[in-house]
Amino acid sequence: MRALSRVLIAVLLLFPYLIFIIRTQSFSFPEITEVANVLSFTLTQAFLSALASVILGVWGALGLVWVFSRFGEIFVNRVTFFLLLPNLVPALFIILSCFQIFKPFPFGMTGIVILHSLINVGTVSVSIFLTLRSRFGRTIELAYVEGASLWFFFRRAGVRLLSTDLYSLFLYVFSLCFASFSVPLMAGKIGSNTLEVLIYEKIRVDGNLAQAIGLSLVQLLMLMGLTLMGKLKIFSTGVRESNYKWSNLKLLSRGSGLLMPVGCVLVSLSGLFTGLLSGIEQIRSTPALVQGLPTLIMGTFLISIGTSIFCIFGLLIVAYGLPHSTFRWFLFSFVAPSSALVGFAMFLLKRNNNNIEFIYIILGLSILILPVLYRFRWANLIDSLEPQIETARTLGASWNLIFTKLVFPQVIGEAGLLAGLAGIWASGDFAISKLVSGKNFTLAMHIDSLMSSYRINPGVTLAWVLIIVGVSVGMFFWGIGRVLGEKSYS
Amino acid sequence: MKILIKYLRPLGTYFFILGLAIIFFHIDHGVELKNATKKLLTVYAYSSFTQSWGAGPELVLIFEEACNCKVDLIDAGDSGVLLQKLRYEVGNVDVVLGMDQMTKDEALSGFAWHEFSEKFFSDIQWSPMLPVSLEKKTLIPFDWAPLTFVIRKGDVKPPISLDDLLDQRFEKKISLQDPRTSNLGFQFYYWLISEKGEAGAINYLEKLKGNIFSMAPSWSAAYGLFQTKQVPLTFSYLTSLMYHWQQEKDLDQIEAANFVQGHPYQVEYVGIPATSADRDLAEKFIRFLLSEKAQEIIVTRNFMLPVVKLTSSSENLRRLPKLKIKELNYSSLTAEKKKTWLELWKGLW
């Protein structure tokens, strides 16, 4: 059964490649010179963006610790969702917001790193904060009692203890920035060429799907190579065991840390304020701009909730199939093909099944997000349970018993959080949705259409509705995860 | 029991919403089922044409009443993506709408198209302004627009030529489109190549670098920079002025550059794939698109110029400045040439 679950997940993630190979019956690699120039720029911008996001995210996490210490869990959960908002909003709005605030805008590598950091710092801060809370309570408490300063703690123990998590987060942001499309084009120097742009060019200009698939495989191989660094000792000495002693995080509490992630979110979203009133006015004068708004909201819920449900089951199946070293390495290093290719793959799979095309969209989104979620937090969480699993196996427990009594209660809370994150991200998708569906049925698709026909301000107005829908789904799944976790323990 | 209800209630709410969403989805997508007895015409078009505020829905409504049929208007993305999708949807599409001069050759060489008879064109009164002729009777123009720089009045003195754009007053003030990801971006690049030759175009872009604020991945991103006042001028359609006049009631703030050497143009084509199941109905739809009534809707909703003579034109249409049109030789624009020019462009940066 466990082997079957591993095969199921592997086939699911490789699905887009399989579809293309079956339908097109070819793939090829472009010229090495063409790829080499593109790769160096793509790797550099992704590396620097990930590094900046992680460093700033650590500081942001200390700010969240301060919020938790001063205002309690309920308030910090709300701040957490606020920090995840940049993941919801279309990248163009964030880019335009930054252009308005940073004058002159530092186009080039600096500009790309700034934009990627603005989008990802909040998520990284949240992740590190949750890690600190769930696994470092005892260590931090001891350091606090012994009179260690924050700088001493991080210098002597903190970075080493967090190394595995920081490495996972670095890879998470790296893989997102590696596949970034709009940001390098608009914030980079003119002519910035990334792998994603090259793939898009192959599809759109050359009509060469075979080479586009080949480039996606290059992306995959690059990330697989990078994850081999995880074998280095420096990245594998982190604390693995769960430890819910979170009452004494005062040593790490730094209010100033909150400025960074909150500032990033405010800068990202500032553009959503400037066009709001004008957008409302345009909508009032042209009701056709929001025709079918209930359907759009329902469609967004459909995609968002569907992706969350798919991801929560996907993550649990992954948890069931682990521990397994090859499977772990595959999941950690796997990167889905570009969203243009995944969208095309789902379009090919859909054929004439227009009535259920939302299923293909959900499938495509889940294929894209599952490896990201695994790298983000799931990998380290499952790894932290390995000692317990080993003990249980030694005592003769079956795998099913281990999963139901040991693994599930400890992971379902996190699964809910990650599913919520998937739902938030999915609600803002229009790339895959538009490739698969011929009709707008979600808010994100509608916003993209508005922006394609001069109506940027009504798009900004509807972005607020999108935020409300996305956050509500995110919060729901987070809550579900926590409730199921508590019920599982009792 | 209380705890169970407390736990189930939010879960139940969200599953209820999910169920409702699936029902809404089917209501929206399943209209064909209700009208299963009527003939169905499937039309592929680009995004802004198919939306509720675009020309498509209104045209479809009028046509459906006239033909007693059902038209399924599908958003197939921009012309580049549209042709890729068409490769896999052959047999399921009756009308394809939205190819331009950049993708016309690819469309003609990659797919078989229905050929219209002479009789089809016999009573069409083409607009004397239309800069193309119908040498092939397969892809028909249905709207067009000159391309120029749209400028916010007062921010900067308008340019009078391509070379004037190199002036220092435009430093970091121009938003263009990336030719790799945008047809309009390639239109600008091809214009430069036509005016100055390959080497001249590269040399020109080298000098223009300092004046470009951003080369956006799409027209909407570049125009978004203009609308949010990041830049005072952007490369767009002359007819963009009509949007601002009509929708924003903004008659004084926006103007168009008028270059002495003339301007390129974009013509949008419509065609019937040879594999269409109902070519007669498809022909009727295209004939309707070329009617005066439909062309007026295209002017006011699609913000493009008509391809046929209109007996009465709107005030906004009359207000548009008359730009000199530059004839560009699109027949030399092969896929190989395009690739070579894009490599040259990439090498520049």
- pLDDT at residue A135 tops 70: no
Determine the Cα–Cα distance for residues A33 and B147; give it in Å rounded to an integer: 35
CA distance to partner chain B, nearest, from residue A301 (Å) = 7
Q: For residue A325, give every residue at least 6 positions away whose Cβ sits within 8 Å of its Cβ, in sequence order, or none.
A: none
- pLDDT at residue A73 tops 70: yes
The confidence score (pLDDT) of residue B102 equals 83
Determine the Cα–Cα distance for residues B149 and B234; give it in Å rounded to an integer: 5
Determine the Cα–Cα distance for residues A324 and A313; give it in Å rounded to an integer: 19
- pLDDT at residue B169 tops 90: yes
- Give CA separation, A106 vs A41, A98, A99, A168, in Å: 17, 10, 9, 29
Per the rule left: phi > 0, alpha: psi between -120 and 50, beta: everything else, A72 is: left
Average pLDDT over residues A223-241: 59
- Please give the backbone phi and psi of residue A79, each rounded to the nearest 5 degrees, phi first: -65, -35
- Please give the backbone phi and psi of residue B325, each rounded to the nearest 5 degrees, phi first: -95, 135
The string of pLDDT tens digits covering residues A81-101 is: 888 888 777 788 888 888 888
Determine the Cα–Cα distance for residues A185 and B118; give it in Å rounded to an integer: 47
Instruction: Give one DSSP letter per residue of B197-245, joined into a string.
Output: HHHHHHHHHHHHGGGEEEEESSHHHHHHHHHTTS-SEEEEETTHHHHHH
CB contact under 8 A, A449 and B51: yes
CA distance to partner chain B, nearest, from residue A230 (Å) = 35
Determine the Cα–Cα distance for residues B113 and B108; give it in Å rounded to an integer: 7
ipTM of the prediction: 0.84
Residue of A338, A392, A345, A453 whose CA lies nearest to A38 = A338
CA distance to partner chain B, nearest, from residue A439 (Å) = 6
Query: Is B194 at the interface with chain A, CB within 8 A?
Result: no
Average pLDDT over residues B126-145: 86
Residue of A50, A70, A456 whose CA lies nearest to A223 = A50
Determine the Cα–Cα distance for residues A419 and A413; give it in Å rounded to an integer: 10
Nearest to B80 among A189, A205, A209 (CB): A205
Instruction: Give one DSSP letter per residue of A164-193, joined into a string.
Output: HHHHHHHHHHHHHHHT--HHHHHHSSTT--
Record the tokens describing residue B125, joined without a space. 């009164």
CB contact under 8 A, A454 and B227: yes
Residue of B nearest to A307 (CA): B18
Distance from first CA to last CA of chain A, Å, rounded?
A: 27
CA distance to partner chain B, nearest, from residue A402 (Å) = 25
Per the rule left: phi > 0, alpha: psi between -120 and 50, beta: everything else, B311 is: alpha
Q: Write out chain A residues lying below 8 Å of B87, CB-based.
A: 207
CB contact under 8 A, A439 and B74: yes
Answer whether A307's CB lies under 8 Å from A359's CB: no
CB contact under 8 A, A298 and B30: no
Identify how many contiguous H helices and E strands chain A contains and give both numbers. Answer: 24, 0
The confidence score (pLDDT) of residue A237 equals 47
CB contact under 8 A, A301 and B178: no
Residue of B182, B26, B66, B174 whose CA lies nearest to A359 = B26
Determine the Cα–Cα distance for residues A364 and B130; give it in Å rounded to an integer: 43
The string of pLDDT tens digits covering residues B229-253 is: 889 999 999 999 999 998 888 778 8
Geometric angle at alpha carbon A185, from A179 and A187, rounded to 5°: 105
- pLDDT at residue B297 tops 90: yes
- pLDDT at residue B59 tops 60: yes
Determine which of A197, A278, A302 to mutate to test the interface with B (most B C-beta atoms within 10 Å).
A302
CB contact under 8 A, B25 and A193: no
Identify how many contiguous H helices and E strands chain B contains and give both numbers. Answer: 14, 9
- C-alpha R_g of chain A: 22
Determine the Cα–Cα distance for residues B190 and A64; give it in Å rounded to an integer: 53
Indicate the SS3 state at residue B155: coil
More confident of the two residues B242 and A74 = B242
CB contact under 8 A, A347 and B92: no
Record the tokens describing residue A288, joined without a space. 């056709």
The string of pLDDT tens digits covering residues A48-65 is: 999 999 999 999 998 998
Answer whether A319's CB lies under 8 Å from A403's CB: yes
Query: Residues of B149-175 as b/e, b for ≥16 C-beta within 10 angstroms?
Result: bbbbeeebebbeebbebeeeebeebbb
Nearest to A438 among B7, B74, B224 (CB): B74
For helices A32-83 and A259-269, give the axis angle rounded to 10 degrees: 110
CA distance to partner chain A, nearest, from residue B25 (Å) = 7
- pLDDT at residue A211 tops 80: yes
Cβ neighbours of B14 (radius 10 Å) = 18
Answer whether A168's CB lies under 8 Å from A380's CB: yes
- Give CA separation, B16 vs A302, A366, A443, B153, in Å: 11, 22, 20, 53
Determine the Cα–Cα distance for residues B115 and B98; give it in Å rounded to an integer: 18
**DSSP 8-state symbol, A154:** I
A171 alpha-carbon distance from chain centroid: 11
Answer whether B149's CB lies under 8 Å from B259's CB: no
The confidence score (pLDDT) of residue B19 equals 67
Outline where DSSP puts E strands in chain B: 40-45, 70-75, 95-99, 140-152, 174-177, 212-216, 233-237, 254-256, 265-271
**Mean pLDDT of chain A, nearest integer:** 84
Q: Write out chain B residues lying below 8 Å of A104, CB-based.
A: 172
Determine the Cα–Cα distance for residues A221 and A227; give it in Å rounded to an integer: 10
The string of pLDDT tens digits covering residues A283-310 is: 888 888 888 899 999 999 999 999 999 9
Confidence (pTM): 0.86
Determine the Cα–Cα distance for residues B295 and A190; give it in Å rounded to an integer: 38
- pLDDT at residue A38 tops 50: yes
Answer whether A372's CB lies under 8 Å from A172's CB: yes
CB contact under 8 A, A204 and B81: yes
CA distance to partner chain A, nearest, from residue B118 (Å) = 33
Determine the Cα–Cα distance for residues A212 and A201; give it in Å rounded to an integer: 8
CB contact under 8 A, A271 and B228: yes
Q: Write out chain A residues lying below 8 Å of B72, CB-based.
A: 438
CB contact under 8 A, A454 and B212: no
Q: For residue A371, give every residue at least 6 positions away whose Cβ sits within 8 Å of its Cβ, in sequence order, or none.
A: A13, A175, A331, A334, A335, A336
CB contact under 8 A, B28 and A302: no
Q: Write out chain B residues lying below 8 Å of A455, CB-based.
A: 53
The string of pLDDT tens digits covering residues B24-43 is: 566 555 444 445 578 899 99
Query: Is B246 at the interface with chain A, CB within 8 A?
Result: no
CB contact under 8 A, A480 and B230: no
Residue of A85, A88, A83, A81 whose CA lies nearest to A60 = A83
Nearest 10 degrees: Cα torsion B308, B314, B320, B323: 20
Determine the Cα–Cα distance for residues A95 and A111; give it in Å rounded to an integer: 10
Q: For residue A139, give every residue at least 6 positions away whose Cβ sits within 8 Å of its Cβ, in sequence order, or none.
A: A157, A161, A239, A243
Q: Write out chain A residues lying below 8 Å of B224, CB-based.
A: 92, 96, 451, 456
The confidence score (pLDDT) of residue A248 equals 62
**DSSP 8-state symbol, B327:** P
